[in-house]
Structure 1
Amino acid sequence: MTKLYDQLKEDHRNLVKVLDVLKRQIALYDTREEEGAEKPDSALILDIMDYIQHYPDRFHHPLEEACFDYLDEQNRGDAAARDAIRAEHKELEHSSSKVRTRLNAINLGEAVPLDKLHQTLDQFHTLQLDHLKREEKTVFRDIKALDDAASAIILDRVEHRHDPLFAEVANQQFNELIRQLKYD
C-alpha cells in the first residue's frame, strides 16, 4: 500500500471518531434537563463542525479529487463510481452546512425543536458514514492499486497539510475535541 492510500484510510478512521463524538454530544440535548446530567458542550460541537467542514473539504476531498483526476487521465478504474462520489462530496457540503445552521441557531438562543436537530444530525451522520463506506468499497480499490510512482505524482498535485486533530502537534483550537477523542 502507498502513503497516499494510507493517508486516505487514516482520514476516514479519524473522521469516524469525530462523528462519534458529535453524536454523543448531540444526544446530551435529550437529557440536559435532568438533574446532574451532563450538558452538551456547544463550543465543542462547533469545533467538531469546523473540523468536519474544513479539513475534509480543504484537504481530504481535494486529495481524493486528485486521485480521481489521475485515474481519469490514465483511463483506469471505475469512472462511474468516481462521478457518484464527486456528487456525494457536494451533497456532504450541503448537509454539513445544514447541521451548522441548526447549531448556530441554538447557540443564538433560537428555538430549534429537538426532533429537528436529531433528524438533521442523524441524516448527516448516516450520509457521512455511508459515503465513507461507499468510497472504500468502490474508488479506494482503484487508489489502492496505484503504485508508489503514481502516488507521488498525485501527492505533488495537492497542498499538504497535517490533520489539525491527529497530527503530532495539534491545533490548539481543538483542545477539547482532542481531549474527547482521547477519552474514547
Structure 2
Amino acid sequence: MTAHVQKWRAEHANYRKLLDLLEALIANFVDGDELDYDLMADIVYYMTQYPDHYHHPREDEAFGRLLAHDPQARPLIEHLTGEHRSIAESSARLATDLAAAAAGTMMPRATLQADVHDYVVFLKDHMDTEEREIFPRLDASLSDDDWFLVDSAIHFASDPIFGDTVQERFRSIHRHIAGQVHCGCEEPAEAACCLD
C-alpha cells in the first residue's frame, strides 16, 4: 500500500472517531441530556476546515490522475468527487443548524438527530466506498511521479486534531476521544497523543 493511501485510511479512521462522537452526543441529547453545542460545532467546524479543504481536494487530484491509467474508473470518480461537494454542503448546513439551535431557535430534537444521523451515515458510506473501490485502484495505478504531482497540486496543512500539535480550539474534542479510547492522554500539552 502506498504511503498516501495508508495516510488517507488513517485519516478516515480519525474522521470515524469524530463521527462516532457526534452520534454519541446527539444520542444523549435525544435521551434528554443537554447538548454540548460548542463541542459539536467544533467537530463540524473541523470537518469543514480540514477534510473539506485538504483531504478531499488531494483525493480529487489523485482521482484525476487515475483517469489517465484507468479510464474505466470515470463513473466512480465522478460519483465520489460529486459526493465531496455534497459533503461540504452538508457540513455547512449542519453547522448552520447547530448555530441556530445554540442561539435558541426552536428545533425539534428529532430534526437535529436526523440531520446528524444523515450526515454521519453519508460520510461513513462515502469513506467505505473510497476504501473498497478507489484506493486499491490508486495503489495499483499511480506512479511516484503521479503522487508527486498530487502533493504539488494541493498545499499540505497539518491536521489540527490528529497532527503533531493539537490546536487550542480542538483540545476539547481531543480529550473526549482520548477518554473514549482510554489512551491516557486526555490533556495534551503540545504534542498529540496516540490517537492517530
Asked if TM exceeds 0.5, the reply is yes
- What letter matches 1:62 in structure 2? P
Could you tell me which residue of structure 2 aligns to residue 40 of structure 1? 35
Q: Deviations over 1:126-178 (max 9, x none)?
A: 11111111111211122122343432232122111111110121211101001
What CA distance in whole angstroms lies between the structure 1 residues aligned with 2:77 and 2:158? 25
Q: Are 1:137 and 2:136 counterparts?
A: no
Among 99, 104, 115, the residue aligned to 1:104: 99
From 145, 149, 171, the counterpart of 1:175:
171
The corresponding residue for 1:36 is none
Deviations, residues 5-27 of structure 1 (Å, cap 9, x unaligned): 12211111110011011111112
SS of structure 2 residue aligned to 1:138: helix
Q: Does 1:69 align with 2:61?
A: no
Residues 1:24 and 1:52: Cα distance change in structure 2 (over 3 Å): same
2: CA distance, partners of 1:134 / 1:75? 17
Inter-partner Cα distance in structure 1 for 2:133 and 2:6: 16
Gaps of 5+ in 2: 181-196
CA distance in 2, matches of 1:45, 1:133: 23
Shift of 1:30: 2.0
Counterpart residue type for residue 25 of structure 2: Q
Q: State the Cα deviation string for residues 37-71 of structure 1 (Å, max 9, x = none).
A: xx332111110010111111100011001101211
Q: How many residues align?
A: 179
Matched to 2:110, the amino acid is D
**Post-superposition CA distance 1:74-127 (Å, at most 9, x none):** 455611110110111122122222222221111110110011111111111111
Amino acid at match of 1:158: I
The whole-number CA distance in structure 2 between the counterparts of 1:56 and 1:136 is 16
Q: Matched residue of 1:162: which SS?
A: coil
* TM-score between the two structures when normalised by the length of structure 1: 0.90
Deviation at 1:2, TM superposition (A): 1.8
Using the alignment, how far apart are the partners of 2:61 and 2:14 within structure 1?
Answer: 20
In structure 2, the partner of 1:20 is 20
Check conservation: 1:47, 1:177, Cα contact below 8 A: yes
The offset of 1:32, in angstroms, is 3.4
Q: TM-score, normalised by structure 2?
A: 0.85
Aligned partners of 2:52, 2:72: CA distance in 1, in Å? 23
Question: For 1:161, which of 151, 157, 160 is the aligned residue?
Answer: 157
Could you tell me whether the CA contact under 8 Å between 1:92 and 1:128 is conserved in 2? yes
